[in-house]
Amino acid sequence: MSLNFNDGKWSQFTITFSWPHQAFLLGWNLAEPTTQDPYFTVSIHLGPIAVAYEWGDNDWEINE
């Protein structure tokens, strides 16, 4: 997570491993902000490994 807490912006990078019998995905996903989840997520799935980058701003006002 970003260490700059003064402006309300944040980001997060995660790598997730799972057993092949639990999840084995190939592809990508882009999730745009909603009123319930006000942040962007980009994830890339490479077999049992998923790499995700999330970012947001606490001051965003999402109108759907």
Q: Is the pLDDT of residue 1 over 60?
A: no
| pLDDT value of position 51 | 97
Cβ neighbours of residue 35 under 8 Å, at least 6 residues apart? Answer: 62, 64
Tell me, yes or no, whether 49 lies in a domain.
yes
| pLDDT score at 64 | 63
CB 40 within 8 A of CB 55: yes
Number of structural domains (the chain) is 1
Per-residue model confidence as pLDDT tens digits over 10-60 = 889 999 999 988 989 999 999 998 888 889 999 999 999 999 999 988 777
Residue 19: which domain range?
A: 9-57
| Domain assignment present for 1 | no
In a domain, 22, yes or no: yes
Q: What is the pLDDT of residue 38?
A: 85
Domain-embedded: residue 4: no
